Structure 1
Amino acid sequence: MKRFRFHFWFNASFILLCVSVSSSLDYRLERDVVPLFYNLTIRLLADEAKPNTFNGDVSITLQAVKTDKEIKEITLHSDGLEIEECLFYNESGVLISTIDANQLTLDRTTQKLSVLLEEPLSLNENYTIRFKYSGEIGSGVEGLFATTYIEEGSGITKSVYLTHMQAINARLVFPCFDEPAFKAKFQLHIERPSGYNAISNTKQISSSLESNKRYLDHFEVTPVMSTYLLTFIVSEYTARGNESDYAVVSRPEFYDNTEFSYNVGERVLPVYEGLFQQTYKELGNELLQHATTPSFRHNTMENWGLIIYKDAVLVQKPGYTDGWSDKEFTIRNIVHETSHMWFGDSVTLSWWSHVWLNEGFARYYEFFVAHELYPEYQLDQQFVVRKLQHIFPSDAVNSTQPLTSPEESIQTSSDIYFKFANIPFAKGGSIVRMWRNAMGHDNFDAAIRDYLKQHHLGNTEPQDLFYHLKQYWPVKSELVNLDQFLYDFTEQVGFPMIVVNASFENKQIRVEQNRFLLSPDFQNLTPIGYFSKVVDVYDIWFDEAIDWIVFNLKQSNYYRVFYDAPLLNSLQLALHKSDHSGIAVENRAQIVDDLFSFAHVDYEEVFQFIEYLSQEVEFIPWYSTYQSLQLVANRLTPDQLPNFAKYLSDITSAVFRKLGASGKNSDSVLDVYNRNQQVAWLCKYQIKSCQEQVQVLYDVQKPIPDYRETFYCAVARTEGYIKILELYREEAYPTEQDLLWRAASCTRNYTGHYQNEILSYSRTLAEKKTDISQMYQQNPDLVTPIFTVRF
């Protein structure tokens, strides 16, 4: 095989500007007053002259709990609300005072509303503070907002009113103690026009017709929970299932397309109940609903009892969004969000500085519970390449963050939303996976059951979790520094690198722990090192000669491995054999991914090693390869692309010979995924065999959903662009329209025409920029460099 050599030079200067802002502002609430119960009424569309305004009435039962000072002020949160009246009652319900405007102080920066009282609060006595107020129904996706959809058949625009409170948006809907540690019970009442219906976290217990010909819906009291979990939807939706127990709620025309989602949700719940040995109803809520919405901040939100998803997550339209990848997307999201009923809703983080306590577990179970239910997706393997390997680059730069940040460093809304970046999800899930593998599944699961039961309806910090993990840790001795192992991976940034050197003649392996692009203070103990004293180098001897050795079996642990030349050569020889199944697919993917991460040392060595791929036919190693090759391809100049295409054609010979462009009845799910990525790459770089097969298939039949965008893109590269554009104009289904529009960007011969199409459509500036960028990413050889950066 011809070797394709790359030489990169990097000669650049970086200027890092660090700005430290010191502020005396305190965004946190005192712990001297705590809420116990919210009685909340929301009135929607009550004034036709003000359709974007809602009215609210909330009574908060609270207590003073501190004894070290006199409490004459209640401080809570409010943002964008107009307080019309504030009343204060004693435990017997007797009005103590009407709060004047001069007794209310709002800090618009911290969004803290202070209520000055005439008399100090008595310790542990219940009081009620009542606010009558109004607020704006937003056009964005925070707080209480409105979104619309076009009803199929009639073409009528329908409105949906719903909430998204996470992380600090409950204060946009009602005055409240808007921090996760201030848990309370809620009872919600929704006043709405006829023609709409309302759903919330709990069952509706009654609905009364008011004198103004409007309905007032009353809902059961929620379990004790945080403000960010309260939610409601007012719409014309219908439910699939038993509305008093379990349902999928969507617009009426989606009813027939939510059967798959309904079945997934129904299967997931018993698995969690068995795993945690705690039923959903034992958590304190009898109702679980999965609901759709046209617009949302994220794909999903885990409100207790009413999980909200974007339409595309739950709706499987036959022939459009019912492919394997679409169903996997649905499965994983439902599994992820259902786990939050335990991790996040019942047991809640005490502050946003450790989001991973919610999201790390949800990400882990998203893959591994889904794997138990739907093993055909091999999500245990997919986790390694889609999440663990994917997060390494982000966790190796100075701008990364630890899983657990100092609590005082997370104050502002930007601080809080930074904690919802990918690190708490992907790294958090990877660390949870490492712990479960290190402890053994039975020990880990027992520890988690105890953790969930002890802290049911409470708030936790990482040390609460660690206590239970240590109770069930299988190896307990002076040689095991569990605290360091647990805390280092959560409180420090980055990850370790293991350097492995071989002396085959001495039957010896030397393992050394180094740092990978990290602070000098980084001192993680890896799972292969924590069973010894805190040492950086140790030796392993073997009784018999070894041909090769792989560290980090199935990439179970969160570190990279650097093999010396003799070991790498032995692995290369093993992988070049026609049967290299003795090295797990996760490890084959790991070796490739790790090699590319060290490739600044010698790209020639890397490309020589991955020639083994000419014998590789599995999806997992190829996925890692293409993720890494993309970074290389982005840096190639047009004159290098023909050699790259030739190299690609050589190393894909076996896998494309096995898969081809045409689907087979014997295909596994990962075969489908693998074929899709092979066709995408080979046709992008104009490999003739790929282009010819795709064109023949396209002429015969419409591609199935899993292949559709890839095939349309391949066809648009040749002479099929005009046909793709015609299909786009004729298509009525929005998801398919978007797919065809993206596929048209792959054109090579009509780039000027596509640019004109972009400019002629009523697309936003951001969309136009994305479209232009997409077109040239699909055709890198057509890009003329206007400046040169040396790598």
Structure 2
Amino acid sequence: MSSSVSRVSRLIYFLLICVVNGADYRLDGSVVPSYYNLTIGVLRDPAEPTLFDGEVSITLRVVGPLEVPQIILHADTLDISECWLLDAVGVQVEAIDISRLIYEAATQQVKVPLTQPVQPGQNYTLGFKYTGHIRTDMAGLFSASYVEEVTNVTRGLAVTQMQRINARLVLPCFDEPALKAKFQLQIIRPNGYQSIGNTKLRETTAASTDRFVDHFEETPVMSTYLLTFMVASYSARGNVSDFAVLTRPEFYNHTEFSHQVGQRVIPAYGQLFQIPYAELGNEVLQYASSPRFPHNGMENWGLIIYSDEVLIQESGYSDDWSNKEFTIRIIAHETSHMWFGDSVTFSWWSYFWLNEAFARYYEYFMAHQLYPEYHLDEQFVVRQMHLIFVTDARNSTQPLTSLESDIQTPSEIAYKFSGIAYAKGACILRMWRNIMGEQNFDRAIQNYLKQYHLGNTVPDNLLYHLSENWPANQEVDVEQFFYDYTEQVGFPMLVVRLRSVNAVTVQQDRFLLDYTDGSRGGLKYTVPLTYTSNLAPNFYNLTPSKYMHKNERYQLIAFDEPIEWFLLNLRQSNYQRVLYDYTLREGLRVALSASNHSGIPVENRAQLIDDLFNFAYVRYVQYEEVFQFLEYLSKEVDYVPWYAVYENLNRVAKRLTPEQLPSFRNYLSDITKSVFEKLGVEWSSQDTPLDVANRNKLVKWLCRYQVSGCRNKVNVKFVTSSEQPSPDYRETFYCAASSSDFNSYTAVWGRYYLETRPSERKLLWSAASCTTDFETHYHKMIISGPESVEQKKIGIARLYEQNPELVQPIFEMITENIVVLAYDFQSWEDTAEVISDMAEYFTTRQQQQLFQEFYDVNHQYFGKSAAVLSKSLESVKENIAWAEDHLEGLVQYLERRNAGSIQGATSILVLLLAVVASLLAWL
């Protein structure tokens, strides 16, 4: 009987493993690792610079109830030469014939068959010797190089990128985030190089006369994707046993700022989370830069790798406010991962947002805490929430949390690396934090981090700690609220209508940009309601006054007195759009036009703007209503609302025909009057970071559309000033000057030829291409010039982007002899991209016809790339049809407005002439 039960249990266990394996992408979990002893030899042989040597011993334990006849783990493009198995005391159990290893290319697994199965509850050591490839695709272990400025010698380096599932390219391993283990790393490298890894360097020994072995301290228990090392020549700012910034030697003097940021960020997180960094289990944290890297940064535990641009601040060139803000944000983001991701890790890729939502949230809000002059708490709304709303309103969106069974293959794992995990996740965290209150939220996060230190989590683990610290006075099902925004896609649109002089109703629908694309339009959400009115304005109490539950048709909000205006979603704290009826919207427009905008915060002003543009796109309101509402901007000078304007206005401005642009210019001149008077084109040492950003965007727009004499004003500054524009303004002002007249264009071009810095040459090339003298620039500077094809494509694009009214003559010039461009590019594919990109700026039926005629005559030259032109031609038709359908009322509004301005100006002139005539008669 017992024997029969045993056989049945074994069969059940086998079937369970088969079910879990499914398509065999997941490991079966029968054995788990606890320790890797890894030795990597890089740059081993000048004759084989693309290979590395590896040896790894993996301590593992059989955790299932049955003996295991084969061990399955990950390995991808590794050439295994030896394999062995030891028991718990180091005695060899088996020398495994490598010809018996089974490789599964699709699942990137290697199966190690055993002559004697490993036993339940026992520890073993599985070892491999192998060679791997130093790659060029920035995955696994890859190569990079740079040219030393002083010697002009090319220097190489090797660096890793293990995320997402690239550790298997460097060593045979159990490459799943929940299969954490400790790593002991040794790097064999040539003389003249240094190596760095996750932990502190313990010692260096000689391997031969010209090769050395660097031995590193043991890592904490961590996921395979966090393993890292770099072999390079570098200089360190700081203490490599504690905190240092590591870059190539010539950059040492440019790392002071990034080092200072790290010195502030690391202890600030320790204080906020109540777990100092050193107590996480790794005493060292280093920032290293690579000249070639697939991301801005990668959060390897103890050694964060950044692209050069993040850590390098060269005085007079890359130390502008914008670059500094970029450095602050990326360092804040990656450093937060030491707690969220490294110490506490999601259990599977379907919960990837548990890493990135926190990192993106603190990227803005820790940066704001330490550097409040950037107002990143306010900027978060326009740079994260408004951005991700577009993604989350389409059928292609995804929920924060996916089913594990849906995320198995490499491509499915890559699918989770989307803006949803980062930006939407951060928006939802911000909403919870504002609803709970700072102390409650922080306490929940501290407890979450402490409980799951060195472990793995699923969303329910976070939910538990949020629920435990949720304010008791709020009538909401926290669990339902949590799942509504993590397991459902999309977000609510709240429709607000004036019911009486002192009451409004609120209804919810899911907002979609295209109701025909297959999206689920009937979704409902638990909706927190925060609001205020003119009766007792309070914009900063973000605790919901009430909740709208999923089964409620509407909510009634009543006041004791008649209201003049009503504002919902204070500081756009909650993840929702708000659509007001005409009366309520007009009340808000009047309030915004009043002194100090009636106290309405910049986040809400930006929200109103962004919401209206998106509602116009789907025809809930008309574009002329949006532009009428935006008349209030004539009194607006703050950056955040203007950011929302510029991000949305381009969609409309690009669709206006050359005949419609004069009325648009007049409108743009009027609404930018106050902000242009405040900022102008003159920079000052008193400028704030937001002044700088605001002036840059303002000058770009006004000069592009030739408004308020912008080009001439910039040109006067360019011609008369002996000082070089600060890095903050260089590209914007060079572009505006280049577009103003031929002399300034040639001056910018001359600077390009004299400049030696690659980054500065790139900037000047782009700026010179803003010229209106497009024929000279195209024929003399682009065609047959020495620049790369990519640079030339940028140069052509800048010609019409900066001068949209010239897109048709530029198209006619280029297509008159398209073979010239194709011959210069040596590529019909790149030539097709140029034409396709340009066609995005077509606005008239005449331009559409010109494109059609060009395609009919020339498409056979383009081969397969003719499909690009065909698709672009369809896009032109759709764009023009959209403009004719959506913008007719707006065009009429702008023309009436422009005519009124002209009539008003004429009346004033007539009156002045009459006064002058009377004076002359009297004299």
- TM-score computed with the length of structure 1 as normaliser: 0.95
Whether contact under 8 Å (1:37, 1:185) holds in the other structure is yes
Q: How far did 1:338 drift?
A: 0.6
Counterpart-to-counterpart distance in 1, 2:75 and 2:789: 34
SS at match of 1:500: strand
Judged with a 3 Å threshold, the aligned counterparts in structure 2 of structure 1 residues 731 and 765 are, in CA distance, closer, same or farther, namely closer
Structure 1: which 5+ runs fail to align? Answer: 1-22
Is residue 783 from structure 1 mapped to residue 807 from structure 2 by the alignment?
Answer: yes
Counterpart-to-counterpart distance in 2, 1:130 and 1:360: 37
Is residue 436 from structure 1 mapped to residue 433 from structure 2 by the alignment?
Answer: yes
Q: Give the stretch that moved more between structures: 708-717 or 743-752.
A: 743-752
Counterpart-to-counterpart distance in 1, 2:36 and 2:746: 59
Q: Which residue of 2 aligns with 1:70?
A: 67
Whether contact under 8 Å (2:774, 2:799) holds in the other structure is no
Counterpart-to-counterpart distance in 2, 1:482 and 1:175: 43
Q: How far did 1:760 drift?
A: 3.3
Q: How far did 1:510 drift?
A: 0.8
Specify which of 273, 278, 282 is matched with residue 279 of structure 2: 282
Judged with a 3 Å threshold, the aligned counterparts in structure 2 of structure 1 residues 536 and 758 are, in CA distance, closer, same or farther, namely farther
Counterpart-to-counterpart distance in 1, 2:473 and 2:350: 30
Q: Give the stretch that moved more between structures: 259-268 or 699-708.
A: 699-708
Q: Which residue of 2 aligns with 1:586?
A: 603
Q: How far did 1:508 drift?
A: 0.6
Counterpart-to-counterpart distance in 1, 2:425 and 2:782: 40
Is residue 725 from structure 1 mapped to residue 761 from structure 2 by the alignment?
Answer: no
Structure 2: which 5+ runs fail to align? Answer: 1-20, 513-518, 530-543, 809-841, 849-876, 883-923
2:585 maps to amino acid = L
Counterpart-to-counterpart distance in 2, 1:508 and 1:709: 51
Q: Which residue of 2 aligns with 1:128?
A: 125
SS at match of 1:579: helix
Is residue 511 from structure 1 mapped to residue 528 from structure 2 by the alignment?
Answer: no
Counterpart-to-counterpart distance in 2, 1:527 and 1:760: 61
Specify which of 758, 771, 780 is matched with residue 747 of structure 1: 771
1:353 maps to amino acid = S
Q: Map of 1:50-89 to 2, 5 A cutoff? A: 50-67=48-65, 69-89=66-86
Q: Give the stretch that moved more between structures: 537-546 or 366-375.
A: 537-546
Q: How far did 1:744 drift?
A: 2.1
Q: Which residue of 2 aligns with 1:336?
A: 333
Q: How far did 1:337 drift?
A: 0.6
Counterpart-to-counterpart distance in 1, 2:460 and 2:383: 29
Q: How far did 1:25 drift?
A: 2.7
Specify which of 695, 710, 715 is matched with residue 695 of structure 1: 715
Is residue 714 from structure 1 mapped to residue 736 from structure 2 by the alignment?
Answer: yes
Q: Deviations for 1:298-330, whole angstroms, at most 9, x for unmatched residues?
A: 111010000011111110000000111110000
Counterpart-to-counterpart distance in 1, 2:652 and 2:72: 55
Counterpart-to-counterpart distance in 2, 1:750 and 1:722: 13
Q: Which residue of 2 aligns with 1:426?
A: 423
SS at match of 1:117: strand
Counterpart-to-counterpart distance in 2, 1:467 and 1:607: 46
Whether contact under 8 Å (2:69, 2:114) holds in the other structure is yes
Larger RCO (alpha carbons 8 Å, 6+ apart): 1
Q: How far did 1:625 drift?
A: 0.5
SS at match of 2:709: helix
Counterpart-to-counterpart distance in 1, 2:625 and 2:60: 67
Q: Which residue of 2 aligns with 1:35?
A: 33
Q: Map of 1:268-347 to 2, 5 A cutoff? A: 268-347=265-344
Judged with a 3 Å threshold, the aligned counterparts in structure 2 of structure 1 residues 770 and 400 are, in CA distance, closer, same or farther, namely farther
SS at match of 1:346: coil
2:753 maps to amino acid = R
1:729 maps to amino acid = Y
Whether contact under 8 Å (1:555, 1:586) holds in the other structure is yes
SS at match of 1:705: coil
Q: Which residue of 2 aligns with 1:552?
A: 569
Whether contact under 8 Å (1:103, 1:117) holds in the other structure is no
Whether contact under 8 Å (2:350, 2:403) holds in the other structure is yes
Q: Which residue of 1 aligns with 2:547?
A: 531
SS at match of 1:644: helix
Whether contact under 8 Å (2:752, 2:765) holds in the other structure is yes
Judged with a 3 Å threshold, the aligned counterparts in structure 2 of structure 1 residues 555 and 142 are, in CA distance, closer, same or farther, namely same
Counterpart-to-counterpart distance in 2, 1:592 and 1:768: 36
Q: Give the stretch that moved more between structures: 102-111 or 431-440.
A: 102-111
Q: Which residue of 2 aligns with 1:14?
A: none
Q: Which residue of 1 aligns with 2:828?
A: none
2:64 maps to amino acid = K
Is residue 738 from structure 1 mapped to residue 735 from structure 2 by the alignment?
Answer: no
Q: Deviations for 1:76-105, whole angstroms, at most 9, x for unmatched residues?
A: 111111001111111111111111133210
Question: Which has the larger helix fraction?
Answer: 2
Whether contact under 8 Å (1:504, 1:546) holds in the other structure is no
Counterpart-to-counterpart distance in 2, 1:625 and 1:475: 40
Q: Deviations for 1:606-656, whole angstroms, at most 9, x for unmatched residues?
A: 111001101101101000001000111222222222222221111101110
Whether contact under 8 Å (1:744, 1:754) holds in the other structure is no
Q: How far did 1:124 drift?
A: 2.1
Q: Which residue of 2 aligns with 1:613?
A: 633
SS at match of 1:37: strand
Whether contact under 8 Å (1:638, 1:783) holds in the other structure is no
Q: Which residue of 2 aligns with 1:454?
A: 451
Counterpart-to-counterpart distance in 1, 2:778 and 2:359: 42
Judged with a 3 Å threshold, the aligned counterparts in structure 2 of structure 1 residues 94 and 242 are, in CA distance, closer, same or farther, namely same
SS at match of 1:760: coil
Specify which of 643, 658, 664 is matched with residue 684 of structure 2: 664
Q: Which residue of 1 aligns with 2:523?
A: 522
Counterpart-to-counterpart distance in 2, 1:578 and 1:752: 50
Q: Deviations for 1:354-393, whole angstroms, at most 9, x for unmatched residues?
A: 2111111000101111111011001100101111111111
Q: Map of 1:678-693 to 2, 5 A cutoff? A: 678-693=698-713
Counterpart-to-counterpart distance in 2, 1:333 and 1:199: 21
Specify which of 710, 721, 726 is matched with residue 704 of structure 1: 726
Specify which of 496, 499, 506 is matched with residue 500 of structure 1: 496
Q: How far did 1:769 drift?
A: 3.9
Q: How far did 1:704 drift?
A: 0.7
Whether contact under 8 Å (1:292, 1:308) holds in the other structure is yes
Counterpart-to-counterpart distance in 2, 1:764 and 1:82: 38
Whether contact under 8 Å (2:347, 2:457) holds in the other structure is yes
Counterpart-to-counterpart distance in 2, 1:777 and 1:77: 48
Counterpart-to-counterpart distance in 2, 1:513 and 1:123: 55
Counterpart-to-counterpart distance in 2, 1:745 and 1:653: 28
Identical aligned pairs, as a percentage?
Answer: 54
Q: Which residue of 2 aligns with 1:236?
A: 233
Q: How far did 1:286 drift?
A: 0.2
Moved >6 Å (runs of 4+): none
2:46 maps to amino acid = E
Q: Deviations for 1:485-529, whole angstroms, at most 9, x for unmatched residues?
A: 101111111110001111452x11111111212513422112228
SS at match of 1:468: helix
Whether contact under 8 Å (1:354, 1:461) holds in the other structure is yes
Q: Which residue of 1 aligns with 2:890?
A: none
Judged with a 3 Å threshold, the aligned counterparts in structure 2 of structure 1 residues 231 and 762 are, in CA distance, closer, same or farther, namely farther
Judged with a 3 Å threshold, the aligned counterparts in structure 2 of structure 1 residues 759 and 220 are, in CA distance, closer, same or farther, namely farther
Judged with a 3 Å threshold, the aligned counterparts in structure 2 of structure 1 residues 679 and 48 are, in CA distance, closer, same or farther, namely same
Counterpart-to-counterpart distance in 1, 2:478 and 2:783: 59
Is residue 470 from structure 1 mapped to residue 457 from structure 2 by the alignment?
Answer: no
Q: Deviations for 1:209-236, whole angstroms, at most 9, x for unmatched residues?
A: 1234310000000000001101011111
Whether contact under 8 Å (1:138, 1:146) holds in the other structure is yes
Whether contact under 8 Å (2:81, 2:98) holds in the other structure is no
Is residue 221 from structure 1 mapped to residue 218 from structure 2 by the alignment?
Answer: yes
Aligned residues: 766
Q: How far did 1:437 drift?
A: 0.3
Q: How far did 1:689 drift?
A: 2.4
SS at match of 1:550: strand
Whether contact under 8 Å (1:167, 1:228) holds in the other structure is yes
Counterpart-to-counterpart distance in 1, 2:248 and 2:646: 39
1:500 maps to amino acid = V
Q: Map of 1:592-603 to 2, 5 A cutoff? A: 592-600=609-617, 601=619, 602-603=622-623
Is residue 199 from structure 1 mapped to residue 187 from structure 2 by the alignment?
Answer: no
Q: Which residue of 2 aligns with 1:674?
A: 694
